[in-house]
Amino acid sequence: EAGVTQFPSHSVIEKGQTVTLRCDPISGHDNLYWYRRVMGKEIKFLLHFVKESKQDESGMPNNRFLAERTGGTYSTLKVQPAELEDSGVYFCASSPSGREQYFGPGTRLTVT
């Protein structure tokens, strides 16, 4: 069974540019989560989808971040405009039940 996939694996952009990260969850998993790990800090929750609905977006840092999951399959996380402090690794995870979560390999975002 294919795991969670994320694209791109690595992105380097300049401050002020826009970046869109994509996550494809495990097939059949209704729950999809985005997390971020900033260097030296613990992994922090960003938001949670159940199918196409946002259940909890309390972890989104500010309105420069926009997540979508149209059709309840893959999800995108757009950062516009990117700032230096947005650098980090963005993980996506999916879960069939909302309990155990399975993580993708992450997208390493560097904003210069």
Residue ranges that bind other proteins, judged by CB under 8 A: 31, 33, 35, 41-45, 48, 50, 55-56, 58, 91, 98-106
81 vs 89 by CB, closer to other proteins: 89
Give the nearest distance from C-beta 105 to other proteins in angstroms.
Answer: 5
30 vs 68 by CB, closer to other proteins: 30
81 vs 103 by CB, closer to other proteins: 103
Give the nearest distance from C-beta 53 to other proteins in angstroms.
Answer: 9
Contacts from 80-84 at CB under 8 Å and sequence distance 24+? Answer: 80/18, 80/19, 81/15, 81/16, 81/17, 81/18, 82/13, 82/14, 82/15, 82/16, 82/17, 82/18, 82/19, 82/109, 82/111, 83/15, 83/111, 84/15, 84/111, 84/112
Give the nearest distance from C-beta 28 to other proteins in angstroms.
Answer: 17
